[in-house]
Amino acid sequence: MKTRQLGSSGLEVSAMGLGCMSMSAAYGPPADKAEMIALIRRAHELGVTFFDTAEAYGPFANEDLVGEALEPIRDKVVIATKFGFGIDLETGARTGGTNSRPEHIKAVAEAALKRLRTDRIDLFYQHRVDPGVPIEDVAGAVRDLIAEGKVKHFGLSEAGIQTIRRAHAIQPVAAVQSEYSLFWRGPEAELLPVLEELGIGFVPFSPLGAGFLTGKITAETAFDPSDFRNHVPRFSPEARKANMALVDVIKGVADRKGATPAQVALAWLLAQKPWIVPIPGTTKLHRLEENLGAVDLNLTAADLDEIQSGLAGITIRGERLPEAALKMTGR
């Protein structure tokens, strides 16, 4: 497995990570824990060293899973987790909205260390910006945790560029995590240039457009009632039907390259910047192996031009998140 540096932080990880959220939350009922532990360990055998989780996934269940899976190989991997939502640390009950008060951040870190069965968090993201707490105070709290050796690197998720600049001035930000794929190219306008300027790595989540770019989802696909995509405007049947034009472009390149649409979509991301590390998630071994194959798929300048020109006349239909969730991004 090839490796990449997340910006100028010195944090080296596999060129592709593994997003673990779907194993416990958001995409339907939780998967079998023993099977997911085996999947995570198999990912490491295949070269993955970068694993992404969060206290909010479950809550807590995903950190428990990742901690148990990685305990035997802890010193060989990089674990990223997140703080910032209002979650009762005893019961896991959601208390509503965000909570990035410094004392809460530190309590979340202590709880995460126990669940992850480790003595340090390699990358600690603020999951969503808290409008009630100055970002300088958030960065200062993480700086304290870094000084104590409990955290190695600071990250931000779905943050706006001014927030990133202000945080970075207090405690260098190693990585920013936000949605980015051929299905959602919003970060290209402002975010990517700022990250390059500041030497911050970028970790795209939903790099396969929550599964849409695999080509396996159609207008007729029925999601489990607990699947978050039931509430996402761009996953309405009408939007899916309209957005298939995007998948058709990707399929055309994939067929010519002897690859799958998922591999082309991931290889496209890897080709954008050398400090971009996607974290596709899956609960299936064959999908894991397929996704990792993208690391060795070379898209030429002609391939990238073909994708760009093919997408030029396509307008993606539907917002990428429900309205309430969109209001929590880009602040």
Amino acid 36: pLDDT: 98
pLDDT one-digit tens code per residue, 122-178 = 999 999 999 999 999 999 999 999 999 999 999 999 999 999 999 999 999 999 999
pLDDT one-digit tens code per residue, 255-278 = 999 999 999 999 999 999 999 999
Amino acid 189: pLDDT: 97
Strands 151-157 and 173-179: parallel
What average pLDDT does this structure show over 224-252? 97
Contact (Cβ atoms closer than 8 angstroms) between residue 50 and residue 78: yes
DSSP one-letter code for 200: B
DSSP one-letter code for 32: P
What average pLDDT does this structure show over 82-109? 96
Tell me which H or E stretch contains 37.
Answer: helix 33-45
Amino acid 96: pLDDT: 83
Extract the tokens encoding 287: 């999908």
Distance from the Cα of residue 34 to its chain's centroid: 23
Amino acid 100: pLDDT: 98
Confidence of residue 308 (pLDDT cuts 50, 70, 90): very high
Q: Computed over its alpha carbons, how large is the radius of gyration of the chain?
A: 19
**What are the structural domain ranges in the chain?**
3-326
What average pLDDT does this structure show over 223-236? 97
What average pLDDT does this structure show over 284-313? 97
Q: Which residues contact 44 (CB under 8 A, 6 or more apart)?
A: 70, 73, 76, 77
What average pLDDT does this structure show over 48-64? 98
Which backbone phi and psi does 154 adopt, to 5 degrees? -105, 135
Amino acid 54: pLDDT: 98
DSSP one-letter code for 294: G
pLDDT one-digit tens code per residue, 163-207 = 999 999 999 999 999 999 999 999 999 999 999 999 999 999 999
Give domain 3-326's CATH architecture: Alpha-Beta Barrel (3.20)
pTM, 2 dp: 0.98
What share of the chain in percent tops pLDDT 90? 99
Residue 227's alpha-carbon distances to 15, 20, 24, 29, 60, in angstroms, are 28, 15, 12, 8, 18
Average pLDDT, the chain: 98
Q: Based on the residue annotation, tell me whether 57 is a catalytic residue of this protein.
A: yes
Confidence of residue 44 (pLDDT cuts 50, 70, 90): very high
Q: Which of 27, 57, 125, 180 is catalytic?
A: 57
Contact (Cβ atoms closer than 8 angstroms) between residue 48 and residue 13: no
The DSSP bridge partners found for residue 280 are: none
The DSSP bridge partners found for residue 125 are: 82, 155
